[in-house]
Amino acid sequence: MATGSPRVIAAVLRRRALQLEREVREAERQAGQRGLEIARQLSGGSFSRAQLRAMGHPYAARRPRPPADPAIVNRQTGRFQAAWKLQGPRKTAKGLVTKLVNNAPQAGALDRGTARMIARPIRVKLLALLALERRRLHDRAVRTALKG
């Protein structure tokens, strides 16, 4: 810990606080990039429309029997996969915020499902896959900043 006058100690603590903020922001940026990679992977399933039709529409709400994890969205036109965008990290009143969004027309229907199609829990799967790595990145950022 710093020793010296209150002014010197305050200056050291301000520097450490700034370093902590920089490290956490970088960790959050890296976590966001990893989330973007995971989202694109989950949006790149390999079943074609013809294959799904031959399987009897396995994601249909009337009789769902997905051939793979429902969170994996099969790549059709590629628009959904390409529509993932990372926003942030940015500082808000609630803290540091990073958003991963998909503005493709079918994103809402995939997330919620429809009367004809089961919901595809890509967000839940993404958060589960990212949680441990994000925690590790943030823990490392705090340790790095506190080393001084």
Q: 70: pLDDT confidence band, cut at 50, 70 and 90?
A: very high
Taking residues 115-136, what's their average pLDDT? 96
pTM: predicted TM-score of the whole model, two decimal places? 0.87
Q: 148: pLDDT confidence band, cut at 50, 70 and 90?
A: low
Taking residues 45-72, what's their average pLDDT? 95
Q: Over the stretch 16-57, which tens digit does the pLDDT of each residue have?
A: 999 999 999 999 999 999 999 999 999 999 999 999 999 999
Over the chain, what is the mean pLDDT?
A: 93
pLDDT over threshold 70, residue 130: yes
Domain ranges for the chain, please list them: 6-147
Terminal Cα distance for the chain, rounded: 10
Q: Note the pLDDT of residue 4.
A: 80
**Own/partner pairs, 109-117, CB within 8 angstroms, 24+ separation:** 110/73, 110/80, 113/61, 114/61, 115/61, 116/60, 116/61, 116/62, 117/59, 117/60, 117/61
